Structure 1
Amino acid sequence: MVRSVRIVGAGLIGTSIGLALAAKNIAVEMIDVDSRNQALAQDLTGGVSIAEPELIILATPLRALSQVINEQYELNPNSTFMDVCSVKVEPLQKVQASKLPLKQFVGTHPMAGREVGGAESARADLFLSRSWIITPDAQSDSEAVAKVKWLIQLLGATCVELDAVSHDAAVARVSHLPQITATLLAGSLHGVAPEWLDLAGAGLRDTTRIAASDENLWKEIISSNSQEVKALLTNLHNELGAMIDAVDDEERIAVIMRKGRDGRNLIPGKHGGKAREYTYVPIVIDDKPGQLGAIFNECAAMSVNVEDLVIEHSPGQLNALITLALSADDAVKLSNHLSSIGWNVHPIRK
């Protein structure tokens, strides 16, 4: 168990960790080079001044890591250190070149975030049910690793252990390439007529959501993992070329689309394992306050679990279509119930 934590870096991740720890009655001190960020994070977390923190969390941008490591180690030579950088090979190299002994350091990366950053966007529940990767070095002390694992579990995350090289290869595929493709797609919207963008449905919004992310954060992440990212972008470039060549051939288009659908099915469900196949309940609702809340009240009353929700609504439209994703049994149960009490429920679909 850890009783005192210093977090260096009062951004989204650092402050979210601070909020979550404070909620567990762990003493937290927030530090940031920007006095305004530090003051806000300290106020949010109820932060205190800690003379000898048991654990120091390095939540700074990668470019500042070397300086912070040395400064904090000189002040706290007996502390355990962990980082939360989005890449893991380069931070390890910086620790190796620093005064901090490797036995006192554990590399980590919480697979959580938001498209908005800063202490003002922090959430104590950011890490609940999320994977949190640790990349301990062979020299990492077992007690240091145990402290870090304890903290991860305390914050409600699931600890996944990888080596640094495997981590960077993995996140390039599941995080960095999706960010780049979302950014490029959103960038293609410049110059599109506003009335055309009014037609956009959930598909465009879903696929471009993370394009709202901070470019200063991502320029550093992509550059730090450039070798892995470049190889993936080359493959994507080839796939785009194949699609360009196939646009006049329906059969070739179908092959590409099937490959994409099959690839998406490889993504695990929200509780891990194979993705569940849901049954969908479409409901047309009036565009007025309280409609969605009323439906969820009925879901609670019927003890059915909604796994996902999509809302389709066009500007000026007086109603909207919501589609609830549930298990097959729950879908039938909810559809029958809502229909019986007057909701405009359409036939369920797979």
Structure 2
Amino acid sequence: MRTALVIGTGLIGTSAALALAGRGVDVYLVDHDAERARTAAALGAGTDEEPEGRVDLAVVAVPPAHVATTLADAMRAGVARAYLDVASVKGSPRRDLEALGVDLTAYIGTHPMAGKERSGPLAATADLFEGRPWVLTPTRDTDTEVLNLALELVALCKAVPVVMDADAHDKAVALVSHTPQLISSMVAARLEDADDTAVRLCGQGIRDVTRIAASDPRMWVEILSANPGPVADVLAGVAADLDETVRALRALQSSDESKRQDGAEGIEDVLRRGNAGRVRVPGKHGTAPTAYEIVAVLISDQPGELARIFADAGQAGVNIEDVRIEHATGQQAGLVQLMVDPAAAPLLTAALRERGWSIRQ
């Protein structure tokens, strides 16, 4: 691949353009908002000038509702040898293209499983896709050259290719992406009218659950409008669990010992099923999640503190597997939770104490 046209310079389009440009591909940028294309170009994602001729690959990075018409226009204009989109749903754009009578041999649907709560070109990074799954949904009509160019794009973005059927993909993302967004927003919505005293008690748990609730509502309306059935199916199952959990909690209030016991068993059941599901979520490098030991360190809110603690851990020869930061409400301090291999926890604790860090049990 020597040339690429990125249509849509939001988070995903600009991130892909940055990755391609960084690997020596000549990238051309187009957006219905010319200012966004200029911003992406200024970030080093390519040029907002028109290509002189046909490019190797056109990457359509527009909202799901506009994917089919944007692709059809580009394909009829013959702007590229191959075309793909990066929308978060795959079945409906393909069916819309079929309805438009477009030749699908030059097209493949794709979906990089990466994103942020923030949108737009200024949120883009060249490493957004590194190590993340990038779904490809070829059909029997997809030309081999098109599939190869899509695989090259994935490789240049340092992502991991995953081949799936389009409708199977849509059911999967309904479970692992779209439903979590809605549930996160529903929990965060409880905070809107909550008492200030309650909100001041927010800790890491509520921060984890509501992190993605900061996402752009307009963008998510477009995504969910393209995949409503599978998401509704998953939510129906969640709603059934919620009903059972509410009944179990009400039973715990009963004066009847037998009902309280039933309620406790109902709560334990949903928590245990949650444990079983969480175990299936891939951990580091796509393997089964590891039970890490947490070394909690109190740090001040000063520039360079995190860099210093990572450097001290490195000097101790300990690899930090994951990290969380819990800010202390109303104070210029926080608690850093360093997740390490259990065997390394005593060594790290001793080394950090020796270097003056305050360790919390």
TM-score (norm 2): 0.91
Could you tell me which residue of structure 2 aligns to residue 49 of structure 1? Answer: 50
Could you tell me which residue of structure 1 aligns to residue 108 of structure 2? Answer: 106
Work out which of the residue numbers 226, 231, 234 in structure 1 matches 2:233.
Answer: 231
Q: Deviations over 1:290-311 (max 9, x none)?
A: 4332211101212321112222
Q: Give the superposition deviation at 1:195.
A: 2.9
Alpha-carbon distance change, 85 to 320 in structure 1, aligned in 2, over 3 angstroms: closer
After alignment, is 255-264 or 102-111 more displaced? 255-264
Could you tell me which residue of structure 1 aligns to residue 126 of structure 2? Answer: 124
Q: Deviations over 1:251-282 (max 9, x none)?
A: 32222212212211111102112111111112
Any conservation in 1 of the 2:296–2:338 contact (CA below 8 Å)?
yes
Alpha-carbon distance in structure 1 between the residues aligned to 2:131 and 2:120: 22
Any conservation in 2 of the 1:53–1:76 contact (CA below 8 Å)?
no
Work out which of the residue numbers 247, 254, 276 in structure 1 matches 2:290.
Answer: 276
Any conservation in 1 of the 2:323–2:339 contact (CA below 8 Å)?
yes
Alpha-carbon distance in structure 1 between the residues aligned to 2:335 and 2:79: 59
Alpha-carbon distance change, 316 to 24 in structure 1, aligned in 2, over 3 angstroms: same
Q: Give the superposition deviation at 1:125.
A: 0.7
Q: Give the superposition deviation at 1:58.
A: 0.9
Alpha-carbon distance in structure 1 between the residues aligned to 2:121 and 2:63: 14
Q: Which runs of 5+ in 1 are unaligned?
A: none
Alpha-carbon distance change, 100 to 53 in structure 1, aligned in 2, over 3 angstroms: farther
- Specify the code of the residue in structure 2 equivalent to 1:43: A
Q: Which runs of 5+ in 2 are unaligned?
A: 253-262
Could you tell me which residue of structure 2 aligns to residue 188 of structure 1? Answer: 190
Any conservation in 2 of the 1:246–1:252 contact (CA below 8 Å)?
yes
Any conservation in 2 of the 1:199–1:314 contact (CA below 8 Å)?
no
Alignment of 1:164-203 (within 5 A): 164-203=166-205
Alpha-carbon distance in structure 2 between the residues aligned to 1:128 and 1:232: 29
Alpha-carbon distance change, 6 to 197 in structure 1, aligned in 2, over 3 angstroms: same
Alpha-carbon distance in structure 1 between the residues aligned to 2:88 and 2:245: 31
Alpha-carbon distance change, 120 to 78 in structure 1, aligned in 2, over 3 angstroms: closer
Q: Deviations over 1:109-156 (max 9, x none)?
A: 000011110111111110001000000011101111011001101110
Alignment of 1:265-304 (within 5 A): 265-304=279-318
Could you tell me which residue of structure 2 aligns to residue 19 of structure 1? Answer: 18
Any conservation in 1 of the 2:7–2:13 contact (CA below 8 Å)?
yes
Alpha-carbon distance in structure 2 between the residues aligned to 1:259 and 1:30: 47
- Specify the code of the residue in structure 1 equivalent to 2:62: T
Alpha-carbon distance in structure 2 between the residues aligned to 1:258 and 1:25: 50
Q: Deviations over 1:179-201 (max 9, x none)?
A: 11001111111111223211101
Q: Deviations over 1:21-69 (max 9, x none)?
A: 1111100001011111122122222315312111111111122223322
Alpha-carbon distance change, 61 to 321 in structure 1, aligned in 2, over 3 angstroms: closer
Q: Deviations over 1:64-123 (max 9, x none)?
A: 223322321222165200000100001111222335311100110000011110111111
Give the aligned CA root-mean-square deviation in angstroms: 1.7
Alpha-carbon distance in structure 2 between the residues aligned to 1:31 and 1:331: 50
- Specify the code of the residue in structure 1 equivalent to 2:15: S
- Specify the code of the residue in structure 1 equivalent to 2:206: L
Any conservation in 2 of the 1:268–1:275 contact (CA below 8 Å)?
yes
Q: Deviations over 1:201-244 (max 9, x none)?
A: 11111111111111111112112111111111111111000110
- Specify the code of the residue in structure 2 equivalent to 1:243: T
- Specify the code of the residue in structure 1 equivalent to 2:346: V
Any conservation in 2 of the 1:69–1:98 contact (CA below 8 Å)?
no
- Alignment length, in residue pairs? 346
- Specify the code of the residue in structure 1 equivalent to 2:65: R
Alpha-carbon distance change, 25 to 329 in structure 1, aligned in 2, over 3 angstroms: same
Work out which of the residue numbers 75, 78, 84 in structure 2 matches 1:76.
Answer: 78
Q: Within the alignment, does 1:313 sit opposite 2:327 as a pair?
A: yes
Any conservation in 1 of the 2:83–2:107 contact (CA below 8 Å)?
yes
Local SS of the residue matching 1:144: helix
Alpha-carbon distance change, 79 to 191 in structure 1, aligned in 2, over 3 angstroms: same
After alignment, is 31-40 or 281-290 more displaced? 281-290
Could you tell me which residue of structure 1 aligns to residue 39 of structure 2? Answer: 40
Alpha-carbon distance change, 147 to 318 in structure 1, aligned in 2, over 3 angstroms: closer
Alpha-carbon distance in structure 2 between the residues aligned to 1:181 and 1:316: 28
- Specify the code of the residue in structure 2 equivalent to 1:310: R
Alpha-carbon distance change, 16 to 49 in structure 1, aligned in 2, over 3 angstroms: same
Alpha-carbon distance in structure 2 between the residues aligned to 1:289 and 1:58: 40
Local SS of the residue matching 1:261: helix
TM-score (norm 1): 0.94
- Specify the code of the residue in structure 1 equivalent to 2:14: T
- Specify the code of the residue in structure 1 equivalent to 2:99: A
Alpha-carbon distance change, 160 to 319 in structure 1, aligned in 2, over 3 angstroms: same
Alpha-carbon distance in structure 1 between the residues aligned to 2:98 and 2:332: 62
